[in-house]
Structure 1
Amino acid sequence: MKVLISGTAGASGWPAPDCGCASCARVTPGRRPTSVVLDGSLTLGGSLPLDGSAALDGAVRLPLSGPLPPGCRASPGPDGLTVTIPGGQRVLYAASSPSSPPVPPPHGESPHGESPHGESPHGGASREERGGQEGDTGDAEEALNLVLLDVLDRPERLGDLRRRGLVGERTHVVAVGVDHRVPTEAELIRRTALWGVRVVPDGTVVDTSEPPPAPVPPPRRTLLLGGSRSGKSAEAELRLAAEPEVLYVATGPSGDGDPEWLRRVRAHRDRRPAHWGTAETTDLAGLLRSADTPLLIDGLGTWVAAVFDECDAWPDGTGGNSGDGADAVAARCDDLVAAWRQTRARVVAVSDEVGLGVVPGTASGRMFRDTLGRLNQRLALESEDVTLVVAGRLLPLPI
């Protein structure tokens, strides 16, 4: 099947007419609204909605221009519009119709710079151990030939499609509906490369009889550093958004006894993909050694604080501290670094950059800063990818 992708932008195009945002000012030469022609006879993305089509998220209707050619079937559903052409090849069209605001709402972080979190109803168990969850379809479904997806809307939809077997190694996944929700073409390409999605210029022809381009293997170990409210947690989630399975590792307090913190925990948990698992633990070394799915660790700052608590290593208020406690903290850090070095799982970890502020005024503050700063250095040395996040902007830190 040959597919002409004559337009790839959102409903208003990119740049959007009369839009004054920075993204629309930067983009050149621009992109036309999404329009896709299957086998020269069926157009998706036109202005006419499919009669009786299902609504996505209660608002978005999936357009199909013109009548269905003989032998074609169109099936609307919660994933989008699935079109089957003669011969059995299937295309999923899941592009949002309305143009979205240029700046998405930021992901929340805790007052300490780490994302609030909490144990999900499914804990850290695998899908098989859970006996399935909402959205599971049991046995893997047959893979689609082509997916045309608005990945800027909810990239985790792609992870769910992969988890359910609808996107496989031979599935072409192409970004459509792109617009000023992303600041530049370069950032669009960066994000879609993280997710294994193709970005093509308007006018591209995709031949589904040929295999899709091989994705670039992601780094095994990624360390994201930043200050409070820097955007580091949002970037960590972005890195893993399209994975079929992710274990979110929460290292801080659950919020019991603190209503305001508990609200943050719940809001953060609710925004994570429903098919992600959650583990609330400080045994990071054990997880790194045993995990067989990608890990998102958020974060190392709360882990260090928890380890100080567990080892009773905080200063006693006179400037001194338990030597045994400090040695125990050092041993836990050594064990974490060794497990990080040896892990076979893909892991993205978030940590506070503690070296940019004033010297803390307390012995406990200085001890925390020194311990976390040294840990950051050691993990960075053993990482393929280290990035500093400042005001949502990324500064790669090459070795």
Structure 2
Amino acid sequence: MELVLLGTGAADGWPNPFCTCASCMLAAARGDIRGQTSALVDDVLLLDCGPEAPRAAVRSGRTLAGVRHVLLTHAHPDHVGPAALLFRSWAGRTEPLDVLGPPEALDLCRDWVGPDDPVRFVPVAAGDTVTLGGYLVRVLAATHWAVREGDAVLYDLAGPDGRRLLWATDTGPLSGAALARVRGAAYDAVFLEETFGTKTDHGGDHHDLTSFPRTLAALREAGAVTDGTDVVAVHLGHHNPPLPELAERLSHWGARVLDDGAVVSIGGDSIVALPLRPAGASRTLVLGGARAGKSTYAERLLAAESRVLYLATGGTDGGDADWAVRVAAHRARRPEGWHTVETADAAVALRSARDPVLFDCVGTWLAGRLDHHDAWRSGDFGAVDADVEDLLSAWRSASVRVVAVSNEVGSGVVPATASGRRFRDLLGRVNASLAAESESVVLVSAGLPVTLR
């Protein structure tokens, strides 16, 4: 199957033509203009047909004369542009056309078809299976609605060549029923909506950059997404960060963003290379100052993993109420399925891990080792040095993907005390040693990642 992305934007596109936010202004300056999400498959099947889709096809160098099937997901106006049916009749098309969709979406189209037009309306609901020419269409439930609950659907489409894709727009996190229907699907491609970016205070019937990777993890757990699945984020709105930052975030989850007009060969070689999603053993060190966003960034890197070992080295620190609040906030934002182990034996945990590991953080681990060996009172740091070497050995030999967080201590003022200077120097050396043994090193400042390696 060949798929042309006629649009990749949300209902208002990206940029929103009335908006002057940084995301919209940067997109406009780059000339990155995204229309409403729609796709043309093999020049014969349209996935959604909003008002911008017909003209987008022409701009992409395609004709819609060969379209025989239109699949509408729901009745929102960016997905249903019924005037296209009138344009088709004006061109004198006499070939049969199937229009599938929920009844509410089809009702918007009926008045745009003449009595002699060869258009067949096929109402569908979640759970249906329909054959169209050489295509097998399975209808799935969307977590979305236009007029009533349950009136939005997703499409599982298998082509004549046996290739299979999931068209998942618009929807929030998939229901258990939808995940059950796609279990073991091993899609060649998944087009998954990601509307709201960093905005999380919305209704939940769309994805954002927190829920998108969790849905991706659920699809991987169900066997619907595999290492060979091309995952493309669509229905993108201006609450997303600028495109380079968005692309960087998606790449860590094995997903990508494509331009309007991009051609995707389903199950074959795409025009744009797939992102590299780390597989097997890999090591990433994330550095940053206080409140720089380093822990949040590190959590993002593993957000699309269904199981993660969260190696927490800070504990609750006795009766320190402020520290306890910070620890509770970290725990609350960890996805379901992540297993937290609070331990100072980081090397042992790294060696025994079977799932990806998030080690947060090296600084609290080092402080704990210093206290454990009473190094400040005795002045003997030999045992601490041995623990550091043991940690580095475990880091080198890790058999799973590991991400470690540490404080960047070399950019601040010189500590006023001898012990502070000693800790800064020791942690700086530990950071440098870990960085030397890491495939990826990132410095986070003001919430923005800067790749060092």
TM-score range, shorter chain: 0.7 to 0.9
Select the residue among 176, 186, 204 that pairs with 2:234: 176
- Structure 2 vs 1, CA of residues 42 and 353 (structure 1 numbering), >3 Å: closer, same or farther? same
Q: Distance in 2 between matches of 1:310 and 1:68?
A: 70
Q: Distance in 1 between matches of 2:15 and 2:22?
A: 10
Question: Aligned runs of 1:103-252 on 2, under 5 Å?
Answer: 141-151=184-194, 152=197, 153=208, 154=211, 155-210=213-268, 215-216=275-276, 218=278, 220-252=282-314
Q: Distance in 2 between matches of 1:177 and 1:270?
A: 29
Q: What SS is found at the alignment partner of 1:376?
A: helix
Q: How far off is 1:282 after superposition?
A: 1.6
Q: What SS is found at the alignment partner of 2:252?
A: helix
Question: Aligned runs of 1:23-62 on 2, under 5 Å?
Answer: 23-27=23-27, 28-29=30-31, 30-38=33-41, 40-44=44-48, 46=50, 50=74
Question: Aligned runs of 1:235-384 on 2, under 5 Å?
Answer: 235-254=297-316, 257-314=319-376, 321-324=377-380, 326-384=381-439
Tell whether the 8 Å contact from 1:289 to 1:339 is kept in structure 2 after alignment.
yes
Q: What SS is found at the alignment partner of 1:354?
A: coil
- Structure 2 vs 1, CA of residues 268 and 95 (structure 1 numbering), >3 Å: closer, same or farther? farther
What's 1:6 paired with?
A: 6
**Bigger Cα Rg:** 2
- Structure 2 vs 1, CA of residues 169 and 333 (structure 1 numbering), >3 Å: closer, same or farther? closer
Q: How far off is 1:180 after superposition?
A: 2.7
Structure 1 residues 167-176 or 359-368, which shifts more?
Answer: 359-368
- Structure 2 vs 1, CA of residues 229 and 178 (structure 1 numbering), >3 Å: closer, same or farther? same
Q: What SS is found at the alignment partner of 2:396?
A: helix
Q: Distance in 2 between matches of 1:160 and 1:392?
A: 27
- Structure 2 vs 1, CA of residues 278 and 81 (structure 1 numbering), >3 Å: closer, same or farther? farther
Q: Distance in 2 between matches of 1:19 and 1:392?
A: 24
Q: What SS is found at the alignment partner of 2:48?
A: strand
Q: How many residues align?
A: 344
Q: Distance in 1 between matches of 2:45 and 2:317?
A: 56
Q: Deviations over 1:151-197 (max 9, x none)?
A: 44122221221122110134331110223333322222222222211
Tell whether the 8 Å contact from 1:285 to 1:336 is kept in structure 2 after alignment.
yes
Q: Deviations over 1:264-299 (max 9, x none)?
A: 333322222212222211211122222232211111
Tell whether the 8 Å contact from 2:167 to 2:191 is kept in structure 1 after alignment.
yes
Structure 1 residues 186-195 or 263-272, which shifts more?
Answer: 263-272
Select the residue among 87, 92, 108 that pairs with 2:166: 92
Q: Distance in 1 between matches of 2:26 and 2:265?
A: 31
Letter in 2 for 1:50: H
Q: Distance in 1 between matches of 2:18 and 2:220?
A: 38
Tell whether the 8 Å contact from 1:81 to 1:92 is kept in structure 2 after alignment.
no
Letter in 2 for 1:240: L
Q: Distance in 1 between matches of 2:298 and 2:9?
A: 26
Letter in 2 for 1:335: D
Q: How far off is 1:393 after superposition?
A: 2.4
Q: Distance in 1 between matches of 2:340 and 2:277?
A: 25
Tell whether the 8 Å contact from 1:150 to 1:176 is kept in structure 2 after alignment.
yes
Q: Distance in 1 between matches of 2:49 and 2:303?
A: 25
What's 1:122 paired with?
A: none
Q: How far off is 1:97 after superposition?
A: 7.5
Q: Deviations over 1:34-80 (max 9, x none)?
A: 123456334337497638xxxxxxxxxxx975455852342215599
Q: How far off is 1:217 after superposition?
A: 5.2
- Structure 2 vs 1, CA of residues 162 and 45 (structure 1 numbering), >3 Å: closer, same or farther? farther
- Structure 2 vs 1, CA of residues 75 and 96 (structure 1 numbering), >3 Å: closer, same or farther? closer
What's 1:76 paired with?
A: 141
Q: How far off is 1:208 after superposition?
A: 2.4
TM-score normalized with structure 1 length: 0.75
Tell whether the 8 Å contact from 1:140 to 1:166 is kept in structure 2 after alignment.
yes
- Structure 2 vs 1, CA of residues 263 and 78 (structure 1 numbering), >3 Å: closer, same or farther? farther
Q: Which runs of 5+ in 1 are unaligned?
A: 52-62, 99-134, 315-320
Letter in 1 for 2:302: L
Superposed CA RMSD in Å reads 3.2
Q: What SS is found at the alignment partner of 2:450?
A: strand
Tell whether the 8 Å contact from 1:240 to 1:246 is kept in structure 2 after alignment.
yes
Q: Distance in 2 between matches of 1:346 and 1:86?
A: 33
- Structure 2 vs 1, CA of residues 166 and 215 (structure 1 numbering), >3 Å: closer, same or farther? same
Q: Distance in 2 between matches of 1:46 and 1:91?
A: 20
- Structure 2 vs 1, CA of residues 166 and 396 (structure 1 numbering), >3 Å: closer, same or farther? same
Q: How far off is 1:255 after superposition?
A: 6.4
Q: Deviations over 1:189-219 (max 9, x none)?
A: 2222222113221123333243675542538
Q: Distance in 1 between matches of 2:404 and 2:122?
A: 48
Q: What SS is found at the alignment partner of 1:195?
A: coil
Letter in 1 for 2:19: C
Tell whether the 8 Å contact from 1:170 to 1:211 is kept in structure 2 after alignment.
no
Q: Deviations over 1:109-136 (max 9, x none)?
A: xxxxxxxxxxxxxxxxxxxxxxxxxx99
Letter in 1 for 2:9: A
Q: Distance in 1 between matches of 2:250 and 2:215?
A: 13
Q: What SS is found at the alignment partner of 1:279?
A: strand
